[in-house]
Structure 1
Amino acid sequence: MGHLVSGVMPEGFWAVSTEIHLDFVEDPPVDGSVLRAESWVLGRSARAGLAGGRIVDAQGQLIASGTTRLQTVPLADPPGAPEISPDDLDSRLRARSIVDLLDVEYARGASGIEFGPSPMLANPMGNIHGGVLLCASEITGSAALAADAGFRTTSIQISYLRPCPSDEPVTFAPKVIHRGRSLGVVEVSSRNTAGKTCTTATITCSAIR
Protein backbone atom coordinates (compact mmCIF):
# COMPACT_ATOMS: atom_id res chain seq x y z
CA MET A 1 0.00 0.00 0.00
CA GLY A 2 2.74 2.43 0.94
CA HIS A 3 4.60 2.05 -2.35
CA LEU A 4 1.90 3.97 -4.21
CA VAL A 5 2.72 6.99 -2.06
CA SER A 6 6.47 6.61 -1.44
CA GLY A 7 7.08 5.58 -5.05
CA VAL A 8 6.13 9.03 -6.38
CA MET A 9 8.03 11.14 -3.84
CA PRO A 10 10.29 13.81 -5.35
CA GLU A 11 14.05 13.28 -5.13
CA GLY A 12 15.36 13.84 -1.62
CA PHE A 13 12.12 12.86 0.12
CA TRP A 14 10.63 9.67 1.53
CA ALA A 15 7.20 8.68 2.80
CA VAL A 16 6.97 7.10 6.26
CA SER A 17 3.96 5.37 7.78
CA THR A 18 2.14 7.12 10.60
CA GLU A 19 -0.75 4.63 10.85
CA ILE A 20 -1.64 1.21 9.46
CA HIS A 21 -4.94 -0.61 9.93
CA LEU A 22 -5.44 -4.22 8.83
CA ASP A 23 -8.47 -6.52 8.95
CA PHE A 24 -8.08 -10.26 8.48
CA VAL A 25 -11.05 -12.12 6.99
CA GLU A 26 -9.66 -15.60 6.31
CA ASP A 27 -6.46 -17.46 7.08
CA PRO A 28 -4.12 -17.43 4.07
CA PRO A 29 -3.74 -20.76 2.27
CA VAL A 30 -0.55 -22.71 3.01
CA ASP A 31 -0.75 -25.08 0.02
CA GLY A 32 1.56 -22.99 -2.16
CA SER A 33 -1.23 -21.35 -4.14
CA VAL A 34 -0.79 -17.78 -5.35
CA LEU A 35 -2.07 -14.76 -3.41
CA ARG A 36 -2.78 -11.46 -5.17
CA ALA A 37 -2.10 -8.08 -3.55
CA GLU A 38 -3.91 -4.99 -4.83
CA SER A 39 -3.61 -1.36 -3.68
CA TRP A 40 -4.94 2.06 -4.59
CA VAL A 41 -4.51 5.68 -3.56
CA LEU A 42 -7.35 7.11 -1.48
CA GLY A 43 -5.88 10.60 -1.13
CA ARG A 44 -2.58 12.36 -1.58
CA SER A 45 -1.15 15.82 -0.94
CA ALA A 46 2.32 17.35 -0.98
CA ARG A 47 2.98 16.22 2.60
CA ALA A 48 0.78 13.16 3.18
CA GLY A 49 -1.01 10.26 1.56
CA LEU A 50 -3.63 7.62 2.30
CA ALA A 51 -3.71 4.28 0.50
CA GLY A 52 -5.87 1.17 0.71
CA GLY A 53 -5.28 -2.41 -0.28
CA ARG A 54 -6.37 -6.00 -0.07
CA ILE A 55 -5.11 -9.55 -0.51
CA VAL A 56 -7.17 -12.22 -2.26
CA ASP A 57 -6.54 -15.90 -2.97
CA ALA A 58 -6.50 -17.61 -6.35
CA GLN A 59 -10.32 -17.80 -6.35
CA GLY A 60 -10.73 -14.10 -5.52
CA GLN A 61 -11.69 -14.78 -1.89
CA LEU A 62 -10.79 -11.85 0.37
CA ILE A 63 -8.03 -12.73 2.85
CA ALA A 64 -7.21 -9.29 4.29
CA SER A 65 -7.78 -5.59 3.67
CA GLY A 66 -6.35 -2.41 5.12
CA THR A 67 -5.31 1.22 4.88
CA THR A 68 -2.08 3.08 5.54
CA ARG A 69 -1.46 6.76 6.19
CA LEU A 70 1.94 8.25 5.35
CA GLN A 71 3.69 11.59 5.62
CA THR A 72 6.59 13.04 3.66
CA VAL A 73 9.98 13.57 5.30
CA PRO A 74 13.27 14.83 3.83
CA LEU A 75 15.90 12.20 3.16
CA ALA A 76 18.90 14.45 3.76
CA ASP A 77 21.60 11.79 4.05
CA PRO A 78 20.42 8.45 2.65
CA PRO A 79 22.37 5.56 4.18
CA GLY A 80 24.03 3.00 1.95
CA ALA A 81 23.00 -0.63 1.78
CA PRO A 82 23.17 -2.16 5.28
CA GLU A 83 26.09 -4.44 6.02
CA ILE A 84 24.72 -7.94 6.54
CA SER A 85 26.98 -10.79 7.60
CA PRO A 86 26.81 -14.03 5.58
CA ASP A 87 25.89 -15.94 8.76
CA ASP A 88 22.97 -13.60 9.48
CA LEU A 89 21.73 -13.83 5.90
CA ASP A 90 22.00 -17.62 5.91
CA SER A 91 20.11 -17.94 9.21
CA ARG A 92 17.27 -15.75 7.88
CA LEU A 93 17.07 -17.73 4.63
CA ARG A 94 16.75 -20.94 6.64
CA ALA A 95 13.98 -19.54 8.86
CA ARG A 96 11.03 -21.89 9.33
CA SER A 97 8.73 -19.33 10.96
CA ILE A 98 8.19 -15.58 11.15
CA VAL A 99 9.69 -15.66 14.65
CA ASP A 100 12.90 -17.16 13.25
CA LEU A 101 12.89 -14.73 10.33
CA LEU A 102 12.78 -11.71 12.66
CA ASP A 103 15.26 -13.37 15.05
CA VAL A 104 12.88 -12.69 17.93
CA GLU A 105 13.68 -13.52 21.53
CA TYR A 106 11.14 -13.61 24.33
CA ALA A 107 12.07 -10.87 26.76
CA ARG A 108 13.61 -12.16 29.97
CA GLY A 109 11.36 -11.73 32.98
CA ALA A 110 8.53 -10.30 30.89
CA SER A 111 5.72 -11.45 28.64
CA GLY A 112 6.90 -9.45 25.63
CA ILE A 113 9.53 -10.01 22.96
CA GLU A 114 12.70 -8.26 21.89
CA PHE A 115 15.18 -8.32 19.07
CA GLY A 116 18.62 -6.84 18.76
CA PRO A 117 20.15 -4.60 16.09
CA SER A 118 18.63 -5.64 12.75
CA PRO A 119 20.09 -3.83 9.72
CA MET A 120 18.43 -6.41 7.47
CA LEU A 121 15.04 -5.09 8.60
CA ALA A 122 15.82 -1.43 7.89
CA ASN A 123 14.11 0.94 5.47
CA PRO A 124 16.10 3.43 3.31
CA MET A 125 16.30 5.81 6.29
CA GLY A 126 18.05 3.24 8.49
CA ASN A 127 15.02 2.63 10.74
CA ILE A 128 13.20 -0.65 11.28
CA HIS A 129 10.59 -1.06 8.57
CA GLY A 130 7.04 -0.25 9.67
CA GLY A 131 5.73 -3.62 8.48
CA VAL A 132 8.28 -5.40 10.67
CA LEU A 133 7.16 -3.40 13.72
CA LEU A 134 3.54 -4.26 12.91
CA CYS A 135 4.35 -7.95 12.58
CA ALA A 136 6.30 -8.04 15.84
CA SER A 137 3.43 -6.24 17.60
CA GLU A 138 0.99 -8.91 16.37
CA ILE A 139 3.27 -11.71 17.56
CA THR A 140 3.49 -10.07 20.99
CA GLY A 141 -0.25 -9.38 21.24
CA SER A 142 -1.47 -12.81 20.19
CA ALA A 143 1.08 -14.53 22.45
CA ALA A 144 -0.25 -12.58 25.45
CA LEU A 145 -3.59 -14.39 25.20
CA ALA A 146 -4.07 -17.92 26.47
CA ALA A 147 -2.66 -20.39 23.95
CA ASP A 148 -5.57 -22.80 24.46
CA ALA A 149 -8.25 -20.13 23.90
CA GLY A 150 -8.36 -20.76 20.14
CA PHE A 151 -8.01 -17.09 19.17
CA ARG A 152 -6.95 -15.76 15.79
CA THR A 153 -6.00 -12.16 15.02
CA THR A 154 -8.81 -10.32 13.24
CA SER A 155 -7.49 -6.73 13.19
CA ILE A 156 -4.41 -4.63 13.88
CA GLN A 157 -4.26 -0.87 14.37
CA ILE A 158 -0.77 0.59 14.79
CA SER A 159 0.49 4.17 15.16
CA TYR A 160 4.13 5.14 14.59
CA LEU A 161 5.21 7.77 17.11
CA ARG A 162 8.94 8.05 16.45
CA PRO A 163 11.61 6.29 14.37
CA CYS A 164 12.94 2.99 15.68
CA PRO A 165 16.64 2.78 14.68
CA SER A 166 17.72 -0.56 13.28
CA ASP A 167 21.14 -0.41 14.96
CA GLU A 168 19.81 -0.83 18.51
CA PRO A 169 17.57 -3.33 20.32
CA VAL A 170 13.80 -2.86 20.52
CA THR A 171 11.38 -4.36 23.04
CA PHE A 172 7.66 -5.07 22.62
CA ALA A 173 5.47 -5.15 25.73
CA PRO A 174 1.81 -6.28 25.81
CA LYS A 175 -1.05 -5.11 28.01
CA VAL A 176 -4.18 -7.27 27.94
CA ILE A 177 -7.23 -5.00 27.83
CA HIS A 178 -9.87 -7.71 27.54
CA ARG A 179 -9.82 -11.49 27.46
CA GLY A 180 -13.23 -13.11 27.17
CA ARG A 181 -14.51 -16.33 25.69
CA SER A 182 -14.98 -14.94 22.20
CA LEU A 183 -12.86 -11.79 22.04
CA GLY A 184 -9.44 -10.63 23.19
CA VAL A 185 -7.89 -7.16 22.92
CA VAL A 186 -4.22 -6.42 23.63
CA GLU A 187 -2.31 -3.15 23.49
CA VAL A 188 1.34 -3.51 22.48
CA SER A 189 4.03 -0.82 22.80
CA SER A 190 7.51 -0.96 21.31
CA ARG A 191 10.31 0.93 23.06
CA ASN A 192 13.88 1.82 22.19
CA THR A 193 16.88 1.54 24.49
CA ALA A 194 16.09 4.96 26.00
CA GLY A 195 12.68 3.64 27.05
CA LYS A 196 10.80 5.92 24.65
CA THR A 197 7.71 4.55 22.90
CA CYS A 198 8.18 4.07 19.15
CA THR A 199 4.87 2.43 18.27
CA THR A 200 1.57 1.64 19.93
CA ALA A 201 -0.73 -1.03 18.53
CA THR A 202 -4.11 -2.57 19.31
CA ILE A 203 -4.39 -6.26 18.46
CA THR A 204 -7.92 -7.71 18.35
CA CYS A 205 -8.39 -11.48 18.36
CA SER A 206 -11.55 -13.55 17.99
CA ALA A 207 -12.25 -17.13 18.95
CA ILE A 208 -12.22 -19.65 16.11
CA ARG A 209 -15.56 -21.38 15.85
Structure 2
Amino acid sequence: MNDDELMARMNKFVPPTARLLGQEILEVDSAAGRVKMRFQPGPECRNPMGNVQGGIVVAMLDDAAAFAAIVKSGKRIGIPTIELKTSFFAPARSGVPLYAEGRCIKLGKRIAFMEADLFDEAGTLLARLTTSAVPVDLEDRGNLEERK
Protein backbone atom coordinates (compact mmCIF):
# COMPACT_ATOMS: atom_id res chain seq x y z
CA MET A 1 0.00 0.00 0.00
CA ASN A 2 1.47 3.38 -0.96
CA ASP A 3 1.23 6.46 1.28
CA ASP A 4 -1.83 7.91 -0.50
CA GLU A 5 -3.71 4.62 -0.17
CA LEU A 6 -2.66 4.33 3.46
CA MET A 7 -3.85 7.88 4.19
CA ALA A 8 -7.22 7.19 2.52
CA ARG A 9 -7.66 4.02 4.58
CA MET A 10 -6.68 5.76 7.82
CA ASN A 11 -9.18 8.55 7.11
CA LYS A 12 -11.92 6.00 6.37
CA PHE A 13 -11.44 3.73 9.39
CA VAL A 14 -11.01 5.98 12.42
CA PRO A 15 -10.92 5.69 16.20
CA PRO A 16 -14.10 6.85 18.00
CA THR A 17 -12.30 9.99 19.19
CA ALA A 18 -11.82 11.16 15.58
CA ARG A 19 -15.34 12.62 15.51
CA LEU A 20 -14.89 14.45 18.82
CA LEU A 21 -11.52 15.87 17.74
CA GLY A 22 -12.55 16.62 14.15
CA GLN A 23 -9.56 14.58 12.99
CA GLU A 24 -8.31 14.25 9.40
CA ILE A 25 -4.96 12.97 8.15
CA LEU A 26 -3.56 15.34 5.53
CA GLU A 27 -0.21 13.74 4.70
CA VAL A 28 1.60 10.46 5.32
CA ASP A 29 5.29 9.72 4.84
CA SER A 30 5.69 6.13 5.97
CA ALA A 31 9.41 5.93 5.16
CA ALA A 32 10.12 8.90 7.43
CA GLY A 33 7.49 7.91 10.03
CA ARG A 34 5.69 11.24 9.75
CA VAL A 35 2.06 12.35 9.52
CA LYS A 36 0.37 15.71 9.21
CA MET A 37 -3.15 16.03 10.57
CA ARG A 38 -5.90 18.60 10.95
CA PHE A 39 -8.16 18.74 13.99
CA GLN A 40 -11.24 20.82 14.66
CA PRO A 41 -12.45 19.97 18.15
CA GLY A 42 -16.04 20.94 18.86
CA PRO A 43 -17.35 23.40 21.45
CA GLU A 44 -17.62 20.60 24.04
CA CYS A 45 -13.79 20.60 24.12
CA ARG A 46 -13.52 24.17 25.48
CA ASN A 47 -12.29 25.11 28.92
CA PRO A 48 -13.85 27.95 30.98
CA MET A 49 -11.63 30.49 29.14
CA GLY A 50 -13.02 29.38 25.77
CA ASN A 51 -9.84 27.68 24.57
CA VAL A 52 -9.35 24.00 23.82
CA GLN A 53 -8.87 22.21 27.15
CA GLY A 54 -5.30 21.02 27.73
CA GLY A 55 -6.22 17.35 27.96
CA ILE A 56 -7.85 17.58 24.53
CA VAL A 57 -4.64 19.15 23.17
CA VAL A 58 -2.73 16.18 24.60
CA ALA A 59 -5.19 13.74 22.97
CA MET A 60 -4.66 15.35 19.55
CA LEU A 61 -0.88 15.23 19.94
CA ASP A 62 -1.00 11.65 21.24
CA ASP A 63 -2.95 10.60 18.13
CA ALA A 64 -0.50 12.36 15.79
CA ALA A 65 2.48 10.70 17.48
CA ALA A 66 0.84 7.26 17.50
CA PHE A 67 -0.19 7.50 13.84
CA ALA A 68 3.43 8.35 12.95
CA ALA A 69 4.61 5.10 14.57
CA ILE A 70 1.79 3.12 12.96
CA VAL A 71 2.66 4.30 9.44
CA LYS A 72 6.38 3.72 10.06
CA SER A 73 5.70 0.13 11.12
CA GLY A 74 4.27 -0.87 7.75
CA LYS A 75 1.76 -3.17 9.41
CA ARG A 76 -1.32 -3.09 11.62
CA ILE A 77 -0.21 -2.24 15.17
CA GLY A 78 -1.58 -0.68 18.30
CA ILE A 79 0.67 1.78 20.07
CA PRO A 80 -0.33 2.03 23.76
CA THR A 81 1.38 4.93 25.47
CA ILE A 82 3.64 4.19 28.44
CA GLU A 83 4.64 7.78 29.18
CA LEU A 84 4.24 11.26 27.75
CA LYS A 85 5.15 14.86 28.40
CA THR A 86 3.48 17.90 26.89
CA SER A 87 4.71 21.48 26.91
CA PHE A 88 2.16 24.22 26.21
CA PHE A 89 3.37 27.43 24.55
CA ALA A 90 0.15 29.24 23.59
CA PRO A 91 -3.60 28.61 23.89
CA ALA A 92 -5.30 26.51 21.24
CA ARG A 93 -8.27 28.60 20.14
CA SER A 94 -11.61 26.88 19.84
CA GLY A 95 -13.59 26.88 16.61
CA VAL A 96 -10.62 27.03 14.23
CA PRO A 97 -8.59 24.29 12.55
CA LEU A 98 -5.51 23.09 14.40
CA TYR A 99 -2.66 21.26 12.71
CA ALA A 100 -0.39 18.55 14.09
CA GLU A 101 2.75 16.92 12.84
CA GLY A 102 3.64 13.57 14.36
CA ARG A 103 7.07 12.00 14.02
CA CYS A 104 8.29 8.53 14.95
CA ILE A 105 11.83 9.05 16.18
CA LYS A 106 12.64 5.36 16.73
CA LEU A 107 10.51 2.28 16.26
CA GLY A 108 11.88 -0.78 17.99
CA LYS A 109 10.35 -4.19 18.59
CA ARG A 110 9.60 -3.41 22.24
CA ILE A 111 9.40 0.37 22.43
CA ALA A 112 8.72 3.32 20.15
CA PHE A 113 9.71 6.94 20.67
CA MET A 114 7.61 9.67 19.09
CA GLU A 115 6.96 13.39 19.23
CA ALA A 116 4.28 15.71 17.90
CA ASP A 117 3.72 19.45 17.53
CA LEU A 118 0.43 21.37 17.37
CA PHE A 119 0.10 24.58 15.36
CA ASP A 120 -2.63 27.10 14.58
CA GLU A 121 -3.46 28.31 11.06
CA ALA A 122 -0.76 31.00 11.26
CA GLY A 123 1.89 28.37 12.03
CA THR A 124 2.30 29.35 15.69
CA LEU A 125 3.62 26.44 17.77
CA LEU A 126 1.00 25.82 20.47
CA ALA A 127 2.23 22.63 22.14
CA ARG A 128 4.79 19.83 21.84
CA LEU A 129 4.46 16.25 23.05
CA THR A 130 7.19 13.65 23.53
CA THR A 131 6.14 10.10 24.23
CA SER A 132 7.04 6.44 24.25
CA ALA A 133 4.83 3.44 23.65
CA VAL A 134 4.85 -0.33 23.25
CA PRO A 135 4.13 -1.53 19.68
CA VAL A 136 1.56 -4.33 19.76
CA ASP A 137 0.53 -6.40 16.72
CA LEU A 138 -3.20 -6.22 15.98
CA GLU A 139 -4.99 -9.14 14.37
CA ASP A 140 -8.14 -7.26 13.42
CA ARG A 141 -9.35 -3.71 12.86
CA GLY A 142 -9.58 -3.06 16.59
CA ASN A 143 -11.92 -0.34 17.81
CA LEU A 144 -12.16 1.58 14.53
CA GLU A 145 -15.34 2.96 12.98
CA GLU A 146 -15.97 3.44 9.28
CA ARG A 147 -16.36 7.15 8.54
CA LYS A 148 -19.20 7.79 6.14
TM-score by length of 1: 0.49
Contact 2:118 2:126 in 1 (8 A): yes
Runs of 4+ aligned residues of structure 1 deviating over 4 Å after TM superposition are none
The SS at the match of 1:125 is: coil
* Number of residue pairs matched by the alignment: 114
Q: Which has the higher contact order (CA 8 A, sep 6+)?
A: 2
Contact 2:20 2:41 in 1 (8 A): no
Q: Measure the CA separation in 2 of the matches of 1:112 and 1:121.
A: 21
1:121 paired residue number: 45
Say what the alpha-carbon RMSD is for the aligned residues. Answer: 2.2
Structure 2 residue aligned with 1:130, among 54, 67, 83?
54
Deviation, structure 1 residue 150: 4.9
Higher share of residues assigned strand: 1
**1:105 matched to 2:105:** no
Equivalent residue letter for 1:163: P
Contact 2:52 2:92 in 1 (8 A): yes
Task: Structure 1 unaligned segments of length 5 or more: list them.
Answer: 1-95
TM-score by length of 2: 0.68
Task: Structure 2 unaligned segments of length 5 or more: list them.
Answer: 1-14, 30-34, 138-148
Equivalent residue letter for 2:25: Y
Equivalent residue letter for 1:137: L
Q: Deviations over 1:97-146 (max 9, x none)?
A: 11222221112567222123633311111111101011111111111112
Higher share of residues assigned helix: 2
Provide closer, same or farther for how the CA distance between residues 150 and 119 of structure 1 changes in structure 2, counting only shifts above 3 A: closer
Contact 1:112 1:173 in 2 (8 A): yes
Contact 1:149 1:181 in 2 (8 A): no
Contact 2:50 2:94 in 1 (8 A): yes
Q: Measure the CA separation in 2 of the matches of 1:98 and 1:197.
A: 23
- Superposed counterparts of 1:7-18, under 5 Å: none
**1:178 matched to 2:106:** yes
1:58 paired residue number: none
Instruction: Give me the identity figure in percent.
Output: 23
Equivalent residue letter for 1:103: G
- Superposed counterparts of 1:12-91, under 5 Å: none
Structure 2 residue aligned with 1:141, among 65, 85, 88?
65
Q: Measure the CA separation in 1 of the matches of 2:113 and 2:50.
A: 31
Q: Measure the CA separation in 2 of the matches of 1:109 and 1:165.
A: 25
